[in-house]
Structure 1
Amino acid sequence: MISSAAGPAVIFDLDGTLVDSEPHYYEAGRRLLAAHGVPGFTWENHLRFIGIGTQETLETLRRENGLAASVETLLAEKNRLYLELAHSGTEVFPEMRKLVERLDAAGHPLAVASGSSRAAIDAVLGATSLNELLPLRVSAEEVPHGKPEPDVFLEAARRLGVSPAGCVVVEDAPPGAEAAHRAGMRCVAVPYVPAHVTDPAFSGADLLFPGGQREFDAQKAYDWIVG
């Protein structure tokens, strides 16, 4: 069990929060749909699924486009496509790297809780400098329900040995912010999509950076977390 004596535990979302992986997810989805006879999937189409787990996304796309393949088949295909792209490298947001390094140096318990598959989480982090700093990871595959349900965050807190009230979540998407609220955790919100800043889910965020990653400041976030 990990001690929280150093202060609050911090649970990070992965995609769009720690790393700019959304372009890879978009391209994997575009290729997947094209292979199943659905051309023209745009970045704007992709934006409505940001923050929602891969399985839930594919369930919606399968229903909307009348795809014959099972969700399990689509999930396996998309994960394969995504991993091919992710292995080429995924950018870590510089201020997020600073925040993780600062929290780790101060001894805060840290975890990643993501709607991505465990293979995708490991592949993305494995190619970054954050890999050894964030060994505790929870995928939506490992819990009954993905975001906006609180399951991934509650499971991360359980594994950290910290109560939900002793956790801070760092999120970029409305479903994740809502999941943090439902989990009884404080939330630092850094919207990936500028238009999402007015989403009601972000109104309950305890610390909001309206300008997203362009505005995010590691020192300000750290001071708020420890304060």
Structure 2
Amino acid sequence: MISVIFDLDGTLVDSEPNYYESGRRTLERHGVPDFTWEQHSRFIGIGTLETLEILKDRYGIPAPVEQLLAEQNAAYLELARTRTEVFPQMRGLVERLYAEGVPMAVASGSSLEAIDAVLAGTGLDASLTTVVSAEEVARGKPAPDVFLEAARRLGAEPADCVVVEDAA
């Protein structure tokens, strides 16, 4: 039987507005009141820590980057639980595969806490119970470690898995 492994952010859900809003709120708290979507979009695909290091330097924010990261993560988790939108076609696909008994997993570069918040907040947690975060493997994406671990947890051979991913 074929198993399906989904990426989360940008594939199952549109999480980018939450990343923007959590970053905007964090920057505003530290004296940067006018951070725009256009400015944010230049950092899409770059890790949050790396982005915050750049923005801290660019705007001369005195707070330690670890504090900024903790603040942004807390804001993101709040938004993830309440304001994450599932792409309608993807919700339909997950529901159909679940109804047909197809084994499925989520393999994401996000933290386990963020993955759980998004899945619970969207109701996808009822169908997608196997989850692997890059925190749990030796190498994050683009290395295949999260996908290989998801296949292992599903009891599937990697060659018998289809991965649905928005990145190369």
- TM-score normalized by structure 2? 0.83
Match of 2:5, SS state, is strand
Q: Which consecutive unaligned segments of at least 5 residues does structure 2 have?
A: none
Provide, for residues 23-58 of structure 1, a one-character-per-residue CA deviation record: whole Å limited to 9, x for no partner.
111111122233344454322333344445xxx332
**Percentage identity across aligned positions?**
69
**1:6-155 correspondence to structure 2 within 5 Å:** 7-52=1-46, 56-63=47-54, 65-66=56-57, 69-155=63-149
Query: Could you give the per-residue CA deviations for residues 86-107 of structure 1, whole angstroms, max 9, x where no partner exists?
Result: 2323221111111111111222
| Aligned-partner SS, 1:145 | coil
Structure 1's 50 and 161: CA in aligned 2 closer, same or farther, altered over 3 A? farther
CA contact (8 A) 2:48 2:69 kept: no
Among residues 164, 167, 170, which one is paired with 2:161 in the alignment? 167
Contact residue 86 and residue 123 of structure 1 kept, 8 A: yes
Distance 1:155 1:28 in 2: 30
Computed over aligned residues only, the root mean square deviation of the Cα atoms, in angstroms, reads 2.2
Letter in 2 for 1:167: C
Q: Which amino acid aligns with 1:58?
A: L
Deviation at 1:60, TM superposition (A): 3.8
More RCO (CA 8 Å, sep 6+) = 2
Deviations 1:106-136 (A, max 9, x none): 2221011122221111111112232110011
- Alignment match, 1:205: none
Structure 2 CA distance for aligned equivalents of residues 64 and 91 of structure 1: 27
- TM-score, normalised on structure 1? 0.64
Distance 1:11 1:19 in 2: 14
